[in-house]
Amino acid sequence: MKSKQRTLLCLILCLPLLSVLLSGCWDDRELNELGITSGSAYDWENNQWKATYQVINPSSGASGMGGGGGGSTSSPPFLTFTVKGRTIMEAIERTNLTSTREMFFSHSRITVIGESLARHGINQLIDMFLRKQDARETVFVFITQGEAGDILDQLMQMTKNQGAGIQLMIEQEAKLMSYYPGTRLYELAMALSSESRSAVLPEILLTGPQTMDETSETGVTDLPSRLALGRLGVIKGDTFVGWLSQKQAFGLSFLTNNIDSATLAFASQPTKSDKLDASFILQNSATTVHPVWDKDHYVMNIEVQGSGVLTELGSVMDLNDRKAIREMEASLEQQVLSLVNDSWTEVKRLGADVTGFAVRIHRSDRKRWKQIEEERSWDRIFQEIEIRPQVSIEIERTGLSNKSFKSVQQE
């Protein structure tokens, strides 16, 4: 009797164990049921979201980073779907009407925002990225002037996974050139929710008139149309307000301490000619910003300190002469100074605090910031800000030769 009860108890206890088997498999996905999305693009058209998704086509061997092109007749490395919906998720859901696979966003690398959407406002998009479980807020965000979806159609050479390729492009750029810091989605969200309420997004564009979207077209060495990074889009609040040119973007990088390494062209003998005849690689650069309240407006004391190597010299010069070096350094400093001032003028004109001055002021003077917030006078105060940049650049080394080739010739 007792053992019978025990058996019964055991059986009852085993029943829920069976449900363990049920519970897990509900969300299992085999790899060949997934549409691995490497990039997405969003436009605003007729008061509707227009979303384009780039889905990796695994059987084309898209994992291979090299060997793209070569006139292969195989299927394209990725496919794109364009869908429309009143909300983003509605659009995403509609991909299931055309796609054989479930969209899988965890491996997305980039998101391109069309200018139309940027003018409409991007907060809903950011919210979706932060909220949805498999959306990655580490995607790099770009802005494009025309239709964002067209960007995703373009095939790239040297890499088959276009999304990953664009990510590599911006990472390389930020590391070696420092014109634009790559903006990840969470950085965008943080910048827009900070005191500045502004952010910058690099522009991505097609250099040629037509889109290269056939695998046979990438089999040439010099593509007529490529993807390239262009200007810097400025977002204020959640809408697009204007562009900064590449030079202004470079200046902004100095203002916001985003220089990793950069090449500067400058005039080696500014007293003799304005010709830009020398290059310099800036290897280290640090910017400090100190806001100071000067009676009725803020003064930003900006100190840029940098050092690097001379890499190119086209004038007659003796590099053993300390004075000549000093002269070149002064020329470099002038160069940077004009970049910074140029950039600041444009930023001020756009009225978007992409320099992060608001954060600085908040941190250094909380009382006054509170007052500014209460009065909602930041936009006015921002316009009254005066910057006082001080640049000091040191040429640490002059490379392998201490005379310019021109001076050797003249001797």
Partner 1 sequence: MFIMKLLLWNGGKIPCLKGSFFFVVNALYYTIISARIRNPIAGDNTGITSRFQQKGVSEMPHNQKKSTRTTKDPAETSVPAPLPLNLSLEANLQEISRRIGDSSDIVIRKFNSESPHSLSLCFIYIDGLVNADAVNQMVLQPIMENGALNGGTLTTGAAFTLIKDHMLPVGGVKEGATLEGLLPLLFEGYTLILFEGLQTAVAADTAGWEKRSINEPTSQGVIRGPKEGFTESLRTGTSMLRRRLKTTDLRIEEYKIGQRTGTGIALVYLKGLASEQVLAELRRRLNAIDTDAILESNYIEEFIQDGGLTPFPTIQNTERPDAMAGGILEGQVGIIIDGTPFALLAPSTFFNFFQSSEDYYQRYDISSFLRLIRYGAFFVSMLLPALYIAVTTFHQEMLPTTLLISLAAQREGVPLPAFAEALLMELTFDVLREAGVRMPRTIGPAISIVGALVLGQAAVQAGLVSAAMVIVVSFTAISNFVIPSLAIANSIRLIRFVMMFIAASLGLFGIMSFLMVLLIHMAGLRSFGVPYLSPVAPMIPRYLKDIFIRVPLWSMDIRPKTNLGKETRRQAPHQKPKPAESANGPSREQQNPQGEGPA
Kindly list the residues in this chain that would bind partner 1 in the complex (CB under 8 A): 13, 16-17, 19-32, 34, 36, 38, 56, 58-63, 65, 104, 106-107, 109, 134, 161, 164
- Report, in Å, the least distance between residue 342 CB and partner 1: 39
Residues 6 or more apart in contact with residue 396 via CB below 8 angstroms: 283, 307, 308, 309
For partner 1, the closer of residues 20 and 97 by Cβ is: 20
Q: Judging by beta carbons within 10 Å of its beta carbon (0-12, 13-18, 19+), is residue 85 exposed, middle or buried?
A: middle
Both structure tokens of 263: 């090449």
- Report, in Å, the least distance between residue 51 CB and partner 1: 20
Burial 174-186 (b: 16+ CB within 10 A, else e): beebbbbbbbbbb
Task: With beta carbons less than 8 A apart as the criterion, state whether 355 and 378 touch.
Answer: no
Angular region, 272: left φ>0, alpha ψ -120 to 50, beta rest: alpha
- Report, in Å, the least distance between residue 111 CB and partner 1: 15
SS3 83: strand
**Residue for token pair 């004109």:** 349
For partner 1, the closer of residues 65 and 228 by Cβ is: 65
Task: With beta carbons less than 8 A apart as the criterion, state whether 198 and 230 touch.
Answer: no
Task: With beta carbons less than 8 A apart as the criterion, state whether 382 and 359 touch.
Answer: no
- Report, in Å, the least distance between residue 206 CB and partner 1: 24
- Report, in Å, the least distance between residue 159 CB and partner 1: 10
For partner 1, the closer of residues 35 and 202 by Cβ is: 35
Secondary structure element (H or E) that encloses residue 397, with its range: strand 386-397
For partner 1, the closer of residues 78 and 369 by Cβ is: 78
Q: What share of the chain is helix, strand, coil (3-state, %, to 5)?
A: 40, 30, 30
DSSP 233-293: EEEETTEEEEEE-HHHHHHHHHHTT--SSEEEEE-S-TTT-----EEEEEEEEEEEEEEEE
CA of 130: how far to CAs of 126, 142, 301, in Å? 6, 17, 36
SS3 371: helix
In this structure, which amino acid lies at residue 180? Answer: Y
The rounded distance, in Å, linking the Cα atoms of 148 and 393 is: 40
- Report, in Å, the least distance between residue 146 CB and partner 1: 27
- Report, in Å, the least distance between residue 30 CB and partner 1: 5
For partner 1, the closer of residues 81 and 266 by Cβ is: 81
- Report, in Å, the least distance between residue 56 CB and partner 1: 6
For partner 1, the closer of residues 164 and 232 by Cβ is: 164
For partner 1, the closer of residues 35 and 356 by Cβ is: 35
For partner 1, the closer of residues 104 and 186 by Cβ is: 104
- Report, in Å, the least distance between residue 25 CB and partner 1: 4
For partner 1, the closer of residues 1 and 20 by Cβ is: 20
- Report, in Å, the least distance between residue 5 CB and partner 1: 18
For partner 1, the closer of residues 31 and 97 by Cβ is: 31
